Amino acid sequence: MTDENEWSIQAAMKEFVHAMEEHGLSIDDVFSQIDGDENGKLDGPELYRGLMELTGDSLSPGQISAIISAFDINSDNRIDLDELKAAIEYHKNFDEEEEEEEEEE
């Protein structure tokens, strides 16, 4: 279960990216899989279902809207492919920097 107090968008994204890599899916694959009505945008219910299927975590509506507002660049309250890519690239880079530091020591 997800502890709301411990939960962070960063941790959720980390899990999302990890699950994506584990399944061997590209961002485009995951996006079309989550975008149930194929309108090119992910709304709250789609994101909720997608995250649950991919990571097994059932997030609260508050957590879902926190994720959407964090990544929603054009403020339409939906996540499009570019916004998802930007979010995932940001978190991937964050991870790589951490790993590099560990290797140096």
Q: Which is nearer to Ca ion, 17 or 79 (CB)?
A: 79
Interface positions, 86-105, toward Ca ion (CB under 5 A): none
Span 34-53, contacts to Ca ion by CB under 5 A: 35, 37, 39
Minimum distance between the CB of residue 54 and Ca ion, rounded to whole angstroms?
Answer: 16
Q: Is residue 82 a contact residue for Ca ion (CB under 5 A)?
A: no
The SS3 call for residue 26 is: coil
To Ca ion, the closest distance from the beta carbon of 100 in angstroms equals: 31
DSSP 28-87: HHHHHHH-TT-SSEE-HHHHHHHHHHHH-----HHHHHHHHHHH-TT-SSSEEHHHHHHH
Q: Which of 3, 56, 74, 104 binds Ca ion (CB under 5 A)?
A: 74
Backbone φ, ψ for residue 80 (5° rounding)? -95, 175
Segment contacting Ca ion (CB under 5 A): 10-18, 20-28, 31-39, 97-105? 31-39
Instruction: Give the whole-angstrom CA distance, residue 35 versus residue 31.
Output: 6
Residues that bind Ca ion (CB under 5 A): 35, 37, 39, 72, 74, 76, 78
